[in-house]
Structure 1
């Protein structure tokens, strides 16, 4: 059993049921959810939930936990409510997102709104870039459309919050992110003075700005606002793209003002440390580290006490320092067996209510509320309510050795029942590529394929983050080379294990995963019978310059400082970039291929797909082209997700035939 589930003491029992004759409908995997999460009020008396019902837009509902009565406090006819924070126990700040349009048709910003928990005193604070909403109440000028909610709740004890004023240019490139203190009753703001070009902020235990991260060319600097002097001072500077000695990531301030950070501190894997603000250095020993993973997580603080840390190793779980919360975790786990159960207490609890999120590899995340006195558990909503866990396949973290001996983690999802051998298999390559690919949870893409009879292998090839610095750096300048070998070695491992039928394997992926799909068909034609590439890179030169007709949201700093070091220098590594370009080797792709691109994509502009399609179809009659003109870098609209995966299912059945 893997690290986080060992830590939680959970036993996840594999389903022994027989595979269903008729798999679950595709809509249950790829429709928008009518429930999109919930947040407790600071005192724990109320719950704000994002709910859509009866074909209406997602609204904001407030549940009174004393009697579990609920009422909608805000809802629009032309957009959905996307995010919300409690300003205090009586008032909510929220923004919107339009789920009915894809990237091409986005016309409005998220706006900024406030409303009391009883639905009264609704007010718009920031524009949605709509000419009909230029002024607020009483003719007051609204904040600009590029005013965004901060990703931190703040003090939650007054009418004031902090919001960001983003400098966004071109095709959505963030240049700077300034901070404003906003009075939600009057709409008046005060700009927070700071050094440099701000890119990120951290509030302290009192909800006040205390840390700002700035970027100057390729140098990131972490500044601290010293309360003793009321002056900013630099704590650390390092290369924003390649890291460096002394680098760390500010995480949070504890109730006593201690700064907690994540850092490698000369080790391979990052851990959670206390930072000494007086002497400007890390504690000698980490406070918390995860076996086999870089630290990722956040502090859990309630009533001015640090109760525990939410962590993300193989799965998301909790390390509790508080004995009472440890006992409560055992109680909740006994009531919800076979799942990981994440307990979140209110920040200033006055009631016995707590929020619980429950999930497994077969169960999509559910949100519940739990009364610690009555032991009453009530479900609030589920992200995919039509999914039945008994009909899902098992998902596990496996490891295999690459040809040079490097350990490669991978996620293996098997069809329901999970005991079949020599299965048709899809090797699903994650995007990024410098990100973590998967986790032990319910994954719509992998489970959809598994319920159709396919094994799904998702390698965390070198270059993936979350598995140590050496694993990450081993992927630098390895597009189409050792990164690609890791994927192929995983495929051969699955064959040798008896999991995969060597004659029925398809490679697939989006973005970088689409690039790896094409390079897999080129480098290892004997392994893969077909390929599915959506929104995939087809030439690294096109990432540097996609042409005047196609906008790109890749920042100039990334192209100037990040890409030459991590992917390849356009001049110095020109020969390598040409040798690892799918576009330049399109004639070598002879297997059946499905290509899908978004017409409004600014991350991987559609010119990548168009050029490759023109090149490959000259010698390959088995190429299918799909274009969603309104979509960007992925499918925002359910109709397109359903259409795409329906086509994928037919394509796979035709070429590697699960049934």
Structure 2
């Protein structure tokens, strides 16, 4: 059945506020009413996301959502203020990118189905910005969307395992680069190919691949393939495609997990062909450097250093010129090399003093329009258009328009000392109006070897704060972004020093008068779920309850999996990464047993809420069922939730709302408003 393509020409009042000038975002006036903010406001899908200016800066595209219809691609003419909606009746537009000023590509997803109830891929579609000349470029496993293309055209569609590259191309033709996954007999990705694809004709050609198992590609500042990263036998090799000869050559090889003095992370290319990389270079924190192709080493002087943080960010360019970099410290910020951009940032910050304001410019033109991504700890992300000629701000839309900033909690970066003296960074969110001796939720991030939460509005922590809870989010040892020493201190410390860091944060909150020592709960997903379980094992005197969703219940299960449902953890990670960072099954057998929630299940005496997804391949369902059965033998205070169609996270708004409503009731009973009623 043909799915209907919508093409609307009227301006969207709910999206653009008729494109009239809007006041800068500010906290709503007046006192909050007695009723709590509705849970749906926190956990619905965003109503606007992914806004990007066209290469010439005249148009803006974004994903537009609304409760009564599917998510669609909205394209706005900033001169005429006309808006086009492009979408379908039966699926949602998921992601997109500009091909050139006249054409875009997008993929689709059915947001009303969880991962376990769908067997289709995203496909890929090319379309003109006015909705014309739609072409399906990549097949889906099950063709929900059909177009009027004839069979000969349809036969030229690329296979389902072809995806957008996620990088800006040359944007001067109808061609883009896409990545194509190649699988081995076990269904694992063997390597990733790069294809050059014409978005009007479907013609494509394979980019020659260097030797090795290529996992990722990087385009240069002009949108041409320039780097390929290959991984094999625990080593990462960086291949560089020489612009003069178009031949590949190796510029670096280093240990993928342990790292060494040659290791770096490529960020992107400047206008002069220089490669910018993040590297420790003998320091404890990584900085931004330029890689010298002549010497095969980074230049000794860093370009940008973020004091106390590893450099993490992205390059910002226009017309091929590098304007500056976006960098993450406690929050996101911009370091501008271009004086004009530096002055523009100051001008906009003066108009929007209450938010972090990240500027986005057209990639191939100097236009009067600048897109501002504005947010704060209490305000979700908003998109605001700034006209440099008139000085006028126009609010395009908000990701979560039903959130009232005046009713959100304040969030602060804090640090506390672990028992061995290590400084542990953390985020502390308190309810609106603050308070002392509050019920506390220690919210543990997943990973664990990733950067945790950063300053800014977050649905989980703000929902809990709106219900009267203080929320502490520790960046325990092993968390990345705070230096190499902090990261390495977490190696092989699952359930040990990493666990101590989390407990020491709760005790710090007690000592500060923030937390009531008799009303503390630990919660988290994935590794955070594992830490929740081990917290109840080791610190049952500290935590009154635990909320574990999608949590690892045994490290050995991560290695061995199950005959029925295998984990999606890659063989390289299992062979080289896990033994080094988590623990070796043979050498560390005693430690893995002592730090296994399943093996220690009889020690979990506190109330426990558990939730797992039936289609999860990162932490498969058997992690939860085995633990549920083990804990249930000695503990009757276990609540179980299973979302059959979900994977490693709650993709459906109805499940997010259901889960957090259950969490709200669970916390109310054990540390919240109803705890005193049920206390012995």
Normalised to the residue count of structure 1, the TM-score between the two structures is: 0.95
Partner of residue 645, structure 1:
660
Describe the SS at the equivalent of 1:493: helix
Partner of residue 475, structure 1:
490
Describe the SS at the equivalent of 1:439: coil
Does the CA contact (< 8 Å) of 1:397 and 1:410 recur in 2? yes
User: Cα offset for 1:167?
Assistant: 2.1
Partner of residue 396, structure 1:
412
Partner of residue 131, structure 2:
119
Describe the SS at the equivalent of 1:58: strand
Task: Name which of 295, 314, 317 aligns with 1:298.
Answer: 314
Does the CA contact (< 8 Å) of 1:61 and 1:71 recur in 2? yes
Structure 2 CA distance for partners of 1:41 and 1:137, relative to 1, 3 Å: farther
Q: Within 5 Å, give how 1:176-195 maps onto structure 2.
A: 176-195=191-210
C-alpha distance in 1, partners of 2:331/2:223?
Answer: 30
Partner of residue 514, structure 1:
529
1:273-322 per-position Cα deviation (integer Å, ceiling 9, x unaligned): 11111221101111001011110111111123221111111101111122
User: Cα offset for 1:22?
Assistant: 2.0
Partner of residue 169, structure 2:
154
Partner of residue 50, structure 1:
63
C-alpha distance in 2, partners of 1:431/1:369?
Answer: 35
Structure 2 CA distance for partners of 1:184 and 1:347, relative to 1, 3 Å: same
Partner of residue 97, structure 1:
109
Does the CA contact (< 8 Å) of 2:28 and 2:404 recur in 1? no
Partner of residue 12, structure 2:
none
Task: Name which of 575, 579, 590 aligns with 1:575.
Answer: 590
Q: Please say if 1:23 is aligned against 2:36.
A: yes
Question: 433-442 or 32-41: which moved more?
Answer: 32-41
Q: Please say if 1:84 is aligned against 2:96.
A: yes
Structure 2 CA distance for partners of 1:171 and 1:40, relative to 1, 3 Å: farther
Partner of residue 386, structure 1:
402
Does the CA contact (< 8 Å) of 1:252 and 1:299 recur in 2? yes
Does the CA contact (< 8 Å) of 1:452 and 1:658 recur in 2? no
Partner of residue 5, structure 1:
none
Structure 2 CA distance for partners of 1:47 and 1:172, relative to 1, 3 Å: farther
Stretches of structure 1 lacking an aligned partner (at least 5 in a row): 1-11
Normalised to the residue count of structure 2, the TM-score between the two structures is: 0.92
Q: Please say if 1:233 is aligned against 2:264.
A: no
Partner of residue 4, structure 1:
none
C-alpha distance in 2, partners of 1:18/1:580?
Answer: 48
Partner of residue 265, structure 2:
249
C-alpha distance in 2, partners of 1:226/1:376?
Answer: 45
> Cα RMSD over matched residues?
1.8
Stretches of structure 2 lacking an aligned partner (at least 5 in a row): 1-24, 675-680
1:365-401 per-position Cα deviation (integer Å, ceiling 9, x unaligned): 0012111101122112211110011000001110001
Task: Name which of 338, 355, 359 aligns with 2:375.
Answer: 359
C-alpha distance in 2, partners of 1:601/1:169?
Answer: 21
Structure 2 CA distance for partners of 1:171 and 1:113, relative to 1, 3 Å: farther
Q: Please say if 1:335 is aligned against 2:351.
A: yes
1:512-554 per-position Cα deviation (integer Å, ceiling 9, x unaligned): 1111001111111110000110110111011111210122101
Describe the SS at the equivalent of 1:29: helix
Does the CA contact (< 8 Å) of 1:15 and 1:416 recur in 2? no
C-alpha distance in 2, partners of 1:17/1:436?
Answer: 37
Partner of residue 610, structure 1:
625
Q: Within 5 Å, give how 1:429-508 maps onto structure 2.
A: 429-508=444-523
Describe the SS at the equivalent of 1:572: coil
Question: 465-474 or 54-63: which moved more?
Answer: 54-63
C-alpha distance in 2, partners of 1:414/1:131?
Answer: 48
- How many residues align? The count is 646
C-alpha distance in 2, partners of 1:575/1:403?
Answer: 24
Does the CA contact (< 8 Å) of 1:15 and 1:394 recur in 2? no
1:65-88 per-position Cα deviation (integer Å, ceiling 9, x unaligned): 01222111x201221111111111
Partner of residue 69, structure 1:
82
Does the CA contact (< 8 Å) of 1:15 and 1:417 recur in 2? no
Q: Please say if 1:543 is aligned against 2:558.
A: yes
C-alpha distance in 2, partners of 1:619/1:389?
Answer: 44
C-alpha distance in 2, partners of 1:17/1:404?
Answer: 46
Partner of residue 601, structure 2:
586
C-alpha distance in 1, partners of 2:193/2:592?
Answer: 38
Structure 2 CA distance for partners of 1:261 and 1:382, relative to 1, 3 Å: same
C-alpha distance in 1, partners of 2:191/2:558?
Answer: 23
